[in-house]
């Protein structure tokens, strides 16, 4: 089973292998505004499909990751780890998947705004 998602206009697509144990809803200043539901995996496990220049990268804070949003429709599709290590992880925004593809997955809440701890 695979989770597939895309931005609203379809210019940026992702495929996540299998089903994650949970999806993460973070309340940090970026994620709460973007309305994301993150699924994490090692970078090489996730397939991203988009043309060069189709996304806008946004790097802030401690500069360890870059959020990607579609240049056309604005949807935040994924973030990339700026650490070049082979075990680097990334995340895709499963709020952009069809509801049936993520149905039944647990949603965990993470306090990225203050304590950096799970709230559940």
pLDDT per residue as tens digits for the range 66-101: 999 999 999 999 999 998 888 899 999 999 999 999
Rounded-to-integer distance, Cα 12 and Cα 22, Å? 23
Rounded-to-integer distance, Cα 112 and Cα 28, Å? 4
pLDDT at 119 over 90: yes
Give the per-residue pLDDT at 42.
95
Query: Which helix H or strand E contains 33, and what residues bound it?
Result: helix 31-34
Residues 98-117 have a mean pLDDT of: 97
- Specify the DSSP class assigned to residue 18: S
Residues 50-58 have a mean pLDDT of: 98
pLDDT band at 59 (very low <50, low <70, confident <90, very high): very high
């Amino acid at each position: 089973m695979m989770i597939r998602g895309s931005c609203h206009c379809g210019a940026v697509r992702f495929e996540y292998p299998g089903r994650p144990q949970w999806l993460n809803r973070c309340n940090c200043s970026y994620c709460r505004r973007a309305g994301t539901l993150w699924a994490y995996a090692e970078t090489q496990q996730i397939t991203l499909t988009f043309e060069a220049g189709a996304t806008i990268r946004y790097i802030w804070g401690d500069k360890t990751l870059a959020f990607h949003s579609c240049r056309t429709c604005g949807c935040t599709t994924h973030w990339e780890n700026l650490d070049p290590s082979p075990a680097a992880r990334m995340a895709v925004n499963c709020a952009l998947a069809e509801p049936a593809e993520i149905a039944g997955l647990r949603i965990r809440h993470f306090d990225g705004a203050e304590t950096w701890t799970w709230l559940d």
